[in-house]
Structure 1
């Protein structure tokens, strides 16, 4: 079938950002990862993640970086309820995570759309599973397809889409379920650099509109700083938290932020932390 392509969606008029929500004293974080350990192969098996604790607040965009094999993607799978942890707790809005649930959305690096469903039907899938009526779930799908610039492709099948477009649909599908937390595991890693930049710009805009709580994994330091409110740096395996770095650049952010001296200095600092880990590993 002929592959379709689409240019970057038309930029909407600027909007006021939601104010950052400050957690009242004594209330839980939106996502709380508490002393989590993951060991593969039983008590004497491989220790992948060791005593990791991260709180992600409501509306926060938190990014995890680390050397290959440090367990950062495993941490996402644990928080999504897709992998069983060895010890520790993970909670969303104070509720213990023990299995996948509609309060958590996931966007993977690979293209995980249902090939037998149209773009609209893929986006409607979550609301349909929740028992939402046909008219309402169609409206939800149309809203988020418009948000990612794919309203005109609602009736085509995934096989007709480019890689970047498939990831736009995957993002729309995750948002349509209105999750409390959105997990993104290197969602742009398989894209070419130009398409990746377009998707980063799109995600910045969509996040400004939706203000979802996001936990995002990437190998790309530019991407981590450009997107995140905070960058969590993990050590080489077994993965532990090495540093947490607040990203103070104002929002909304433009793509040319990567050229600013302050951005470059922060990138060098994070790269230094990662290079130390790689040197120690070898």
Structure 2
């Protein structure tokens, strides 16, 4: 069976923790095939963003056309947008795709607090939100997009419903910034999936870690991979939540600030192929056969 083809439209994180780097790791680990249209290049690490260089709009579109025209696409994940002009051009082009789910993570600020979208770009999000299948804002992003103040789960639901009514997209509102709620002495994070006639709550245990860089990118890419592979929205979100929790728990502890997640879940996937080595070196045919046995 062919892997789901996921087109990732986002910025590059030189530190490898977020952006297209986190997206590609996520798509690969969940069985998809990731392609990219890079919207911006950042000089970035666990301590913050030291520089941002937007990619020209025509080059972003050229990357997309190269992927769509040859390989095809089963789902699209949108993250950091380089400019308002790029946002408008993306919305126009993506609107022409036929029955391809689009997951939009409205990135505005990095985990470190560094600004990744100016006011004009955020204003241009409106066009992208209207073509999106799912929008995945966290609390600060949802507040900015709706002009509301969110202090609890009821406020999160009300703001998500407001954005849903305005855009027509399903809203996956992430509640990690809200005050902790506990169950059986376990702190929980509550996320909400809001559609026209449905509100589903996802409660996951909060993992106390500094290594949370790239959680939003990872979650949105995981949802896109699920949808591209034919999962229902509910199943795609379930799997995405589980993957993010596992990757947080497996974080390698790199860097001095907000460290990256452990997308490989503490494993080295290549290890199970090591038996294919013989005295003459690495046997490609033996690798392929052993991989097929474990696929």
TM-score, normalised via structure 2 length: 0.30
TM-score, normalised via structure 1 length: 0.31
Q: Tell me which of the two structures has the higher relative contact order, counting C-alpha pairs closer than 8 angstroms and 6 or more residues apart.
A: 1
